[in-house]
A and B are shown apart, each in its own frame.
Chain A
Amino acid sequence: MNLLFYPETERLLKEANIPLVPGKLVSSEKEAFEAAEGIGFPVVLKLVSTLIIHKNRIGGVRLNIVNQRELKEAYEDLLNKAKTLCGQQEEWGILVQKMISKTLEVAIGAYRDKGFGPVLMFGLGGIFVEILKKISFRLLPLGPKDIEEMMEETRICQLLSTHMKSPSIRGNLINIISNLSNLFLSKPEVKEIDLNPVLIEKSGCFVADAKIILLHD
């Protein structure tokens, strides 16, 4: 597996102007508490590692932590999981993130297809994505009209307008898609980027989780 470790993923996304949910990688419970205080409760704790692709499946995400007592319990839980799952060689850490009360989750991804070359995927995220299959694809590079059409096809346009009137949210989302496209096209060594979920709330759109997989080690 050539999964990039969190700090590197974070750096690449920041460079590309893709907004992440504010967070900090910590290596002790004390640091975790300081980070949580800095960000402000409630927070989310996540086990991040170059080994773990699906954090949820191993219980590596603890949502809505409201105080120090809960933080301690969650931290210890994730630490234990890390010790059982990750060997000496793997990089891992615990990420403290701001808990965002989102109204809508979307997923944005890019990958290299054998026939099509670079492809962009955009769709409804979270638990509905598998059932509703509201996903749309375009080849990269793409133009603003393509992004608009993807938002139409997936009905995210309509969902956005019922949840949020602000046109800036739509603009934020379009920016993330186009910045991700540019990032992916400028990095031929990257095999796949997956931003899922991207949380949409009143103040904007934020990437809560991102995976970047390289073609080679």
Chain B
Amino acid sequence: MNPKEIWDHFFYPHRVAIIGASPSSEKMGYHTLKSLKGCGFKGEVFVVNPKYENILGIKSYPSLESIPGSIDLAIIVIPSKEVIEVLRECGKKGVKYVLVISAGFAESDLFEGEELQKNLKKVAEEEGIRIIGPNTFGFVNLDGHLNASFTPSFSLLKKGGVSLLSQSGGICHLIMAYAIRENIGLNKIIGLGNRVNTDFCDLLPYLVFDESTNSVALYIEGVEEPRRLLEAIRGAVKLKPIVVYKAGKSQKADEAAKSHTGSLAGPYRVYQGALKQYGAILAKDPLELISVAEALSLQNPLKGNRIAVITLVAGLGMVISDLLEENGFNLANFSKSTEKKLFDLMPPYTIRTNPVDLGYIANNKKLCGEVIKTVFEDKNVDGIILSYIYSWSEDFLELPVEAICEAISKTKKPSVMCLDTPPGIWEEEKKRLKEAGLPIFTRPDLAVRGLFGLWEYGRIRDRFRG
């Protein structure tokens, strides 16, 4: 079966009910309703809470049963002890897709936590219900304008091609704030929680089929059947790049992972080796995870490792050259004709070989553009890093946006940009560059890691497509 037939019910529902919605900001049900109300969701939202007639301006039903018509997705935000009963009600009403945000199951110190989770699994099986959770912040689908989580701010994210599947809700929140600031576009963000009957292996094939997802980022603490997960990754990478951050490198983190989502975290080093073996791209931290996934969602994989650096300042060019070498890249040797062109175009005060220094011609937008196009077109160049800095004032220094966009669309060569600006500067220019498919990173190391991800994926795709 096409995984879309199951999972689209979660991510593109028409009629959604929140059981446990509340007008009190002390309750998770309040925040969840706020998220759903504020995300531009086009479908209908129903709320269930017998204590109220109206919550945040929406009529409240005493029970799920009393809602007229069918429900595509039920979101449960009530104390763990009451969840099973509501799940039975979902079964009765024919609701097959349920998000359980409630905590207090196997992850908790509650005496009955383990038992409750076992029952939840059993009842779900009997009723034929798919559950995401329990013990999760929820999930978000920016493509479908759906924020089914207890954090309304997820709706501030820009829609893009990166989907994030995470064993930790906290990490999703960390990435959310970062991605908003860095203008990284996300698509679907899912907190798996205790994975009672929905795991990585279930959602990974869905994300591969999902047309709006270009790359997938996984945050993994540990799973019970790592081989199944690895097989799912191997299947997925033939079509879409998978970037993974595996937690639990230190002994302490490994122990914390065990108690965190009630999972069994395996030995870190075996995971590292196995993930690589099965075609995942490994990230060193959660921000690198999302940055590399961003580069992969926007750009084609690299065919080789010869990189051209075009920089506005020599210093940043050197920093980037160092980072490139660390990551196994070579600085491209320009062809004779490129060399000649650059010598003709640029004055002799500046570095006209790789890394190319635009410093002395910075204010000549047209000339900078010519240099950029020449470098992009060199047959000895596999990929390009552009590094600009903000200096003087906008009246003097302009970004050669048109030339960059033209070079990208003409050559289709993988490229990334390193650029940080004071707030409010060059926002329109950055937006246009991103729309042209150029990933922009504020940190040089992340720009290089992004490029590294493109190179890794080129090799992975060759290897696994056979």
Contacts and interface: CB of A to CB of B under 8 A. Distances in A.
User: Do these two chains interact?
Assistant: yes
A152 to B, nearest CB: 10
Interface stretch (A1-9, A30-38, A139-147): A139-147
A137 B273 contact: yes
Contacts of B38: none
B-side binding surface: helix, strand, loop or mixed? Answer: helix
Given A113-B266, A115-B225, A116-B270, 20 more contacts: A113-B267, A115-B223, A115-B227, A115-B264, A115-B266, A116-B227, A116-B266, A116-B274, A117-B227, A135-B269, A137-B270, A137-B272, A137-B273, A138-B273, A139-B227, A139-B270, A139-B277, A142-B277, A146-B277, A153-B273
Report the 3 A-B pairs with minimum CB-CB distance, sorted nearest first. A137-B273, A137-B270, A139-B274
Kindly name the residue among B224, B272, B274, B277 whose own CB sees the greatest number of chain A CB atoms within 10 A.
Answer: B277
14 contacts: A115-B225, A115-B226, A115-B264, A116-B226, A136-B269, A137-B270, A137-B272, A137-B273, A137-B274, A138-B274, A138-B277, A139-B270, A139-B273, A153-B273
A113 B225 CA distance: 11
B276 interface: yes
A20 interface: no
A99 B275 CA distance: 40
A107 to B, nearest CB: 14
A135 B269 CA distance: 9
B463 interface: yes
A139 B230 contact: yes
A149 interface: yes
B266 A145 contact: no
A119 B277 contact: no
A206 B390 CA distance: 60
A63 to B, nearest CB: 31
Interface in A111-126: 113, 115-117, 119
Interface in B212-245: 223-227, 230
A138 B269 CA distance: 9
Interface in A121-180: 135-139, 142, 145-146, 149-150, 153
A108 to B, nearest CB: 14
A174 B226 CA distance: 26
B224 A115 contact: yes
Interface of A: 113, 115-117, 119, 135-139, 142, 145-146, 149-150, 153
Kindly name the residue among B225, B266, B274 whose own CB sees the greatest number of chain A CB atoms within 10 A.
Answer: B274
A119 B270 contact: yes
A115 to B, nearest CB: 5
A6 to B, nearest CB: 29
A116 B273 CA distance: 11
Contact of B276 (A116, A119, A135, A149): A149
Contacts of A136: 269, 273
A150 B277 CA distance: 10
Contacts of B266: 113, 115-116
A63 B277 CA distance: 39
A134 to B, nearest CB: 11
Contacts of A142: 277
Contacts of B273: 136-139, 150, 153
Nearest to B223: A115
Contacts of B230: 139
Interface in B253-302: 264, 266-267, 269-270, 272-274, 276-277
Kindly name the residue among A119, A137, A142, A153 whose own CB sees the greatest number of chain B CB atoms within 10 A.
Answer: A137
A135 B266 CA distance: 16
Contacts of B225: 115
Interface in B128-157: none
Nearest to B224: A115
A106 B227 CA distance: 27
A153 B269 CA distance: 12
Contact of B270 (A113, A145, A146): A113
A137 B274 CA distance: 7
A137 B269 contact: yes
